Amino acid sequence: MHGWQVTFFTHQSARHRGRPMGEWLVQLARELGLRGATLVPAEEGFGHNGRLHAARFFELAEQPMEVVMALSEEESQRLFERLQAEDVHLFYVKAPVEFGTLGEASA
């Protein structure tokens, strides 16, 4: 199948509707019936403003987070329409990909 890999970049202290942004995005993916989402904690990074975000013992709130999804065109449209309706401010990368599943599902 051809579609999109969408990666959202945020950090642990970013919130939407009172929840950590990364967790909210994963829950939104479930709510929309998307095929999956993975929340990935990162060690450190910096954004467009040059500010460093890092996972340090006393600064876990600044830990960078990524949420990665593989989506069909229709799923991508539904997701981005919902994000716009929610007025979410996030940086993302959207790249064309081929994806699928190999083998049979285990019990």
What pLDDT does residue 63 have? 78
Structure tokens that stand for 105 in this block: 């599902």
- Does residue 17 form part of some domain? yes
Structure tokens that stand for 1 in this block: 């199948």
What pLDDT does residue 7 have? 98
What pLDDT does residue 12 have? 83
> How far, in Å, are 39, 70, 82, 85, 88 from residue 29 at the CA level?
11, 11, 10, 15, 14
- Does residue 107 form part of some domain? no
- Does residue 106 form part of some domain? no
- Does residue 65 form part of some domain? yes
- pLDDT at 69 exceeding the cut of 80: yes
pTM of structure: 0.84
- Does residue 1 form part of some domain? no
> In total, how many domains does the chain have?
1
Q: Which structural domain, as residue segments, surrounds residue 11?
A: 7-97
What pLDDT does residue 13 have? 84
Confidence of residue 56 (pLDDT cuts 50, 70, 90): low
Give the CATH number for residue 57: 3.30.70.120
- Does residue 38 form part of some domain? yes
Confidence of residue 30 (pLDDT cuts 50, 70, 90): very high
CB atoms within 10 A of CB 76: 18
What pLDDT does residue 23 have? 95
